[in-house]
Amino acid sequence: MSKVTVVDHPLVQHKLTLMRDINCGTKDFRQLLEEIAMLMAYEVTRELPLEEIEIETPITKCKSKIIAGKKLGIVPILRAGLGMVDGVLALVPTAKVGHIGLYRDPETHLPVEYYCKLPMDVAERDLIVVDPMLATGGSSIAAIEFIKRRGYKSITLMCLVGCPEGIEAVQKAHPDVNIYIAAIDEKLNENKYIVPGLGDAGDRLFGTK
Ligand code: PRP
Ligand code: URA
């Protein structure tokens, strides 16, 4: 079974509270989401393997550590995942960025795919899929399925707010995918929105509706 890590760093929790507030406007919402994504990326990348290389400082030659192994890719689930990309890129500027377009059908609440473009070098990349909301889990599950179908094997999911139902669904569908999340809320309401949640992340991020 995959690991679920709640990123409970005080800065993350503080910024998330500001975002949840109904009075938080688009500009602040966007900025806070980017900042939280950066802080969470610090945790997600904590266990990247290191290797020693030899370098020369102005003083002497020495061995020093750099990140070893595969390179990273970031895959936002459109639209709201876009708001997390720059935060991750601030820490990992060389990461490539793929995109998956999905929306939840308002009647069935099931994800509908409309776009998918991923980095080509499948074998070389560890992917971080980013989406602020993990509600039923349908969108994340579908996105990860599309990614796996294209050959990617090393995938981590990074979300802001989830609920037990959605997390369990992702764990069941993709037991190999570890999840990083800032908060696990109480439940879903009858419209499959997270309670208390923060409302519709895409609309709040882009000022639509
Ligand atoms: C939101 C959110 C997730 C999805 C979560 O996107 O950004 O992708 O809902 O819900 P789920 O876990 O039940 O699938 P939405 O479908 O509203 O699209 P948008 O980002 O384009 O607004
Ligand atoms: N999508 C959102 O944007 N918010 C929710 O609470 C659930 C799905």
pLDDT digits (tens, 9 = 90+) for 120-129: 887 788 999 9
pLDDT at 147: 92
Give the global pTM. 0.95
Q: Which of 110, 130, 160, 194 to mutate to test the pocket of ligand 2 (most atoms within 8 A of CB)?
A: 194
Q: How far is CA 66 from the centre of its chain?
A: 24
Question: In angstroms, rounded to a whole number, what is the distance separating the alpha carbons of residues 107 and 23?
Answer: 28
Q: What is the CA radius of gyration of the chain?
A: 18
Report whether 179 contacts 201 (CB < 8 A).
no
Residues 34, 86 contacting (CB under 8 angstroms): yes
Structure confidence by residue, pLDDT tens digits, 150-194: 898 999 999 999 999 999 999 999 999 999 999 999 999 999 999
Distance CA 204, CA 209 (A): 9
Active-site residue set:
104, 108, 200, 203
pLDDT digits (tens, 9 = 90+) for 108-121: 888 888 999 998 88
Mutate which of 30, 108, 109, 139 for ligand 1 pocket (most atoms within 8 A of beta carbon) = 139
107 contacts: CB under 8 Å, gap ≥ 6: none
Q: Which residues contact 17 (CB under 8 A, 6 or more apart)?
A: none
CA–centroid distance, 206 to ligand 1, in Å, is 13
Record the tokens describing residue 99, joined without a space. 């995109």
Does residue 83 have its Cβ closer than 6 Å to ligand 1? no
For 126, other C-beta atoms within 10 Å of its C-beta total 18
